[in-house]
Structure 1
Amino acid sequence: MNHIVEASWLRDNLSNVRVIDCRFELGNPTAGLLSYLGDHIPGALYFDLNQDMSGKVEEHGGRHPLPKIDEFCDKLSAAGIDHNTTVIAYDDQGGAFASRFWWMLSYLGHKKVSVLNGGYSLWKQNGNPVTSEIPMMQKKTFVPNILSDLLVSMQEVKERIGDENSTIIDSREQIRYDGIEEPIDIIGGHIPSAINAFWKEGLNDQGTWKSIDEQQQRFSQIDKQKEVIVYCGSGVTACPNVLALKEVGFKDVKLYLGSWSDWITYNDNPVGTNE
């Protein structure tokens, strides 16, 4: 797999990579940092979804907009990351937050970034080393090379509705996609013409990523030669689907970062439901 690494590989290469702990709980924003302070993979530094991987929430842009790029790059530099650094991200929530970090580095043009298969619990469960020691890093200089083609705006998504040359994927649970239940946002439903592919369907019962063949089957109805736009509630859990699509050979995969929480802030945007 190109964007996913096994624990055995990471264990053998710990001294040659930069490990980033992305553990986070949406309903308990301090839980991830507290877990990191308790124990983590040796050499790992912590990046917080709200504080590091997201910017200020405004009228539009969704619940987890991008942070200021220069500030995020400063944090990467302080973490000892430059264009030569191999970066491995992990979390304990099926890869959702680690995939967000993976996508952000990919968006900034960094080619050497992957997600740990199985996350922290499996790492620890299998007897791999953990520590509570906070590492000190020698600062490097991270220079971004923004790949703007990986991102789409609300207006661009709106223009793709019903376009046979594009596929829009909603990564949320079916019940939210259908508009039957919406526990977070004030409006339920989905972007019209979007298909549903719940991001957790990319994982098996053990919490590791499904095989390439299984991922191929998940997305078998989508033409690999056409543009694919992926969204979720706020631009986080769409990222595991982006990663899975890239793993199986889709070339033109874009993230609608603001996602549903941005879409519904525009009064004239259409809403689809399957109630």
Structure 2
Amino acid sequence: MDFFVTADWVYDQIKESAETDIVLLDTRFELTDPEAGKQAYFQGHIPGAVYFDLNQDLSGEKGEHGGSHPLPDPDTFAEKLGKAGIGSQTTVVIYDQGNDMFAARCWWLLTYYGHERTFLLDGGLESWEKHGYPMSREIPAPKPKTFLPDIQGHQVVDIDYVKQKMADSTSHLIDSRSHQRYLGKTEPLYQNAGHIPGAINYFWKQVLTDDGEWRNEEELTNHFAALPADEEIIVSCGSGVSACPNIMALKKVGYQDVKLYPGSFSDWISYPENKVATEKNE
């Protein structure tokens, strides 16, 4: 499956925007500076693009449990999509600063809530700029539409499901964070360091080349070769964001039974009784 479009394709589409039902979503964000992405959007974006913020638009309210970026309420998210001019048949193209994880999170959310015509701009804003295409500071005023969510519940699992599957050894759990965070050698965001016991580390940036481009199907197939294609894969990270590029990559090369644990490590450690594995104790 291919979920990517090129800058040339997007440019051709928005030139015909009066006749083409297409909406662009700008998802630039920085975890350590939550206002940076929005400010970058105000400084310049692809003409007509609507800004979606990780914390305000692509996540729900944080609670005691559920992780740092819980899934947004379906009706609230559907309303935001509608205000952005997105209906069920609208073609949605999502971009980030390069091939970053926030665009993948947005892509996953739309597919989870039942939107089928959702794509990523391969290379993100960097690709757009390299082609010399115009930028804009104009904030668009989309014509509202109605989006009716059709939740694909089979795409997510909760903490109880993860515990059961890990105890039964009937699933493969991926941790998408960096190897240093996985080992517990560093942890910039949470009070505990390490990983969910039994998780296998597949750093999400490894699905990209050193130049930040998506790896081809052969490279991705080799990358995930240790994971059986006919068995369930549960993908986690810190809070259900950087897991999404791994999900896209797995689906791209034919893995069918791929699920997101949205709460991920931040949800796991919200329960004091849960054990955490590190380099030393696993």
* TM-score tier after normalising by the smaller chain length: over 0.9
Deviations along 1:9-31, whole A, 9 cap, x unmatched?
A: 21222223210000011111111
- The answer to whether structure 1 residue 96 and structure 2 residue 105 are counterparts is no
User: SS of the counterpart of 1:215?
Assistant: helix
| 1:42 equivalent among 42, 47, 66 | 47
Q: Aligned-pair distance for 1:205? A: 2.1
Distance 1:103 1:212 in 2: 19
Q: Helix, strand or coil: the match of 1:172?
A: coil
Write the deviation string for residues 110-156 of structure 1: whole angstroms up to 9, x where unpaired: 11101111111221122122111122211110001000011100110
- The answer to whether structure 1 residue 7 and structure 2 residue 12 are counterparts is no
Give the C-alpha shift of residue 93 in structure 1. Answer: 5.4
Q: Which deviates the most, 93-102 or 213-222? A: 93-102
Q: Does the 8 Å contact 2:98/2:127 carry over to 1?
A: no
Q: Which residue of 254, 259, 268 maps to 1:249?
A: 254
Instruction: Indicate how the Cα distance of structure 1 residues 93 and 123 shifts in structure 2: closer, same or farther if over 3 A, else same.
Output: closer
Alpha-carbon deviation of 1:162?
A: 4.9
Distance in 1 (alpha carbons) for counterparts of 2:131 and 2:168: 47
Q: What fraction of aligned residue pairs are identical, expressed as a percent? A: 49
Q: How many residues align?
A: 275
- Name stretches of at least 5 consecutive residues in structure 2 with no aligned partner: none
| Equivalent-residue separation in structure 2 for 1:121 and 1:179 (angstroms) | 33
Alignment of 1:196-215 (within 5 A): 196-215=201-220
The answer (yes or no) to whether the contact 1:107–1:147 under 8 Å persists in 2 is yes
- What letter corresponds to residue 126 of structure 1 in structure 2? H
| In structure 1, distance between residues paired with 2:35 and 2:189 | 19
Moved over 6 A (4+): none
Do the aligned residues in 2 keep the contact of 1:154 with 1:263 (CA within 8 Å)?
A: yes
Amino acid paired to 1:55: G
Per the TM alignment, residue 164 of structure 1 is displaced from its structure 2 partner at its CA by 3.9
RMSD over aligned Cα, in angstroms?
1.2
SS for the counterpart of 1:217 is helix
Q: Can you list the C-alpha shifts for 1:19-68, whole angstroms capped at 9, x where unaligned?
A: 00000111111111111111111111000001111111111011111122
Counterpart-to-counterpart distance in 2, 1:18 and 1:207: 24
Q: 1:82 corresponds to which letter in structure 2?
A: G
Unpaired segments of 5 or more residues in structure 1? none
Distance 2:170 2:134 in 1: 48
Please give the alpha-carbon distance, in whole angstroms, between the structure 1 residues aligned to 2:279 and 2:92.
Answer: 41
Q: TM-score of the superposition, structure 2-length normalised?
A: 0.94
Structure 2 counterpart of 1:194, one-letter code = A
Tell whether the 8 Å contact from 1:232 to 1:260 is kept in structure 2 after alignment: yes
User: Is the partner of 1:161 in helix, strand or coil?
Assistant: helix
Aligned to 1:174: 179
Q: Distance in 2 between matches of 1:93 and 1:62?
A: 26
Counterpart of 1:166, as a letter, is S
1:114 aligns with 2:114: no
- Counterparts of 1:129-168 in structure 2 under 5 Å? 129-168=134-173
Query: Does the CA-based 8 Å contact 2:220-2:253 persist in structure 1?
Result: yes
Write out per-residue CA displacement over residues 207-236 of structure 1, whole angstroms, 9 at most, x where no aligned residue.
121111111111111111111000001111
2:222 aligns to what? Answer: 217
SS at match of 1:165: coil
Could you tell me whether the CA contact under 8 Å between 2:114 and 2:149 is conserved in 1? yes
| Aligned-pair CA distance for 1:95 | 2.5
2:27 maps to 22
Q: 1:78 and 1:61 mapped to 2: Cα distance?
A: 27
- Asked if the contact 2:172/2:227 (under 8 Å) is kept, the reply is yes
Secondary structure, counterpart of 1:20 in structure 2: strand
Partners of 1:4 and 1:270 in 2: CA distance: 38
Give distance in 2, aligned partners of 1:93 and 1:274: 32
Deviations 1:158-196 (A, max 9, x none): 111154431100000011111122221111111111110
Give the match for residue 270 of structure 2: 265
2:79 is matched with 74
